[in-house]
Structure 1
Amino acid sequence: MSAAGTVAAVDFGASSGRVMLGHVGHNELSIRSVARFPNNPVRIADRLHWNILDLYRGALGGLRAAVREEPTLCSVAVDSWAVDYALMRGDRMLGNPVHYRDERTVAGVRAVHAEISPADLYGRNGLQFLPFNSLYQLAADGLAGNLNGADGLLLIPDLITFWLTGEKVAERTNASTTGLVNVADGQWDEDLITRLGLPRAMFPRLVDAGSRVGPVQARVMAEFGASRTIEAVTVGSHDTASAVVAVPMTSETAAYISSGTWSLAGVELAAPVLSDASRAANFTNEAGVDGRVRYLRNVMGLWLLSESMRTWEQSGTSYDLPGLLAQAGVVTGQVTIFDVDDPGFLTPGDMPTRIREYCIEHDLQPPRTHVDLVRSIVESLAAAYAHTLQLAAELSGTRVSVVHIVGGGSQNELLCQLTANRTGLTVLAGPVEATAIGNVLVQARVQGLVTGSLESLRALVARAFAPRQYDPAT
Structure 2
Amino acid sequence: MSVLAFDLGAGSGRALLGEIESGNIRVTEVHRFANEPVRVGGRLHWDVLRLFHEIKQGILKAKHAGHRPQSIGIDSWAVDFGLLDRNGELLGNPYHYRDPHTDHVMEEAYRIMPAGEIFARTGIQLMQFNTLFQLYAMKRADSVALEHAAALLMIPDLLRYFLTGEKVSEFTNASTTQMLDPGAKSWDKDMMGRFGIPTGLFVPIVEPGTKVGRLTAAVSEELGVGRIPVIAVAEHDTASAVAGVPADRQDFAYLICGTWSLLGTELEAPVVHEQAYAWNFTNEGGVGGTFRLLKNMAGTWLIQECRRIWAVEGKHYEHGELVRLAEEAPPFQAWIDPDDAMFLSPRHMPAQIQHYCRSTGQAVPQTAGEMMRTVLESLAFQCRFVLERTQRLSGREFPGLHMVGGGIRNELLAQLTANAIGKPVWAGPAEASALGNMAVQWIALGEIGTLEEARAMIRASFPPVAYEPERNDDWERAYRKFLQVAEAGRQAN
Q: Which amino acid aligns with 2:238?
A: T
The equivalences for 1:279-318 within 5 A come to: 279-318=277-316
Q: Which amino acid aligns with 1:206?
A: I
Shift of 1:51: 0.9
Give the fraction of aligned pairs with identical amino acids, expressed as a percent. 41
Deviations 1:96-154 (A, max 9, x none): 00000011113532342111111111110001111000000000111112221111111
Q: Normalised by the size of structure 2, how large is the TM-score?
A: 0.93
Shift of 1:16: 0.4
Contact map agreement 1:256 1:266 (CA 8 A) in 2: yes
Q: Which amino acid aligns with 2:107?
A: R
Contact map agreement 2:244 2:458 (CA 8 A) in 1: yes
Contact map agreement 1:25 1:449 (CA 8 A) in 2: no
Q: Highest relative contact order (Cα 8 Å, sep 6+), 1 or 2?
A: 1
Give RMSD over aligned pairs. Answer: 1.2
Paired residue for 2:134, among 137, 146, 150? 137
Contact map agreement 2:346 2:352 (CA 8 A) in 1: no
Contact map agreement 1:24 1:450 (CA 8 A) in 2: no
Deviations 1:4-26 (A, max 9, x none): x1111111100001111011367
Paired residue for 1:277, among 275, 279, 291? 275
Note if 1:11 corresponds to 2:30. no
| CA–CA separation in structure 1 for the residues paired with 2:309 and 2:460 | 40
Shift of 1:88: 1.3
Match of 2:369 in 1: 371
| CA–CA separation in structure 2 for the residues paired with 1:187 and 1:208 | 11
| CA–CA separation in structure 1 for the residues paired with 2:109 and 2:23 | 49
Note if 1:230 corresponds to 2:222. no
Note if 1:467 corresponds to 2:484. no
| CA–CA separation in structure 2 for the residues paired with 1:331 and 1:314 | 24
Match of 1:151 in 2: 150
| CA–CA separation in structure 1 for the residues paired with 2:332 and 2:432 | 34
Deviations 1:141-186 (A, max 9, x none): 1111222111111100000000000000000000000000012221
- Alignment partner of 2:209: what SS? coil
Structure 1 348/23 Cα, relative in aligned 2: closer, same or farther at 3 Å?
farther
| CA–CA separation in structure 1 for the residues paired with 2:238 and 2:456 | 19
Contact map agreement 1:6 1:70 (CA 8 A) in 2: no
Q: Which amino acid aligns with 1:217?
A: T
The equivalences for 1:329-368 within 5 A come to: 329-347=327-345, 349-368=347-366
- Alignment partner of 2:452: what SS? helix
| CA–CA separation in structure 1 for the residues paired with 2:377 and 2:223 | 45
| CA–CA separation in structure 2 for the residues paired with 1:32 and 1:111 | 48
Q: Which amino acid aligns with 2:75?
A: D
Aligned length: 468
Note if 1:264 corresponds to 2:225. no
- Segments of structure 2 that go 5 or more residues without pairing to the other structure are 472-493
Higher helix share: 2
Shift of 1:71: 4.2
Q: Normalised by the size of structure 1, how large is the TM-score?
A: 0.97
Structure 1 348/236 Cα, relative in aligned 2: closer, same or farther at 3 Å?
farther
| CA–CA separation in structure 2 for the residues paired with 1:427 and 1:327 | 23
Contact map agreement 1:427 1:469 (CA 8 A) in 2: yes
- Alignment partner of 2:100: what SS? coil
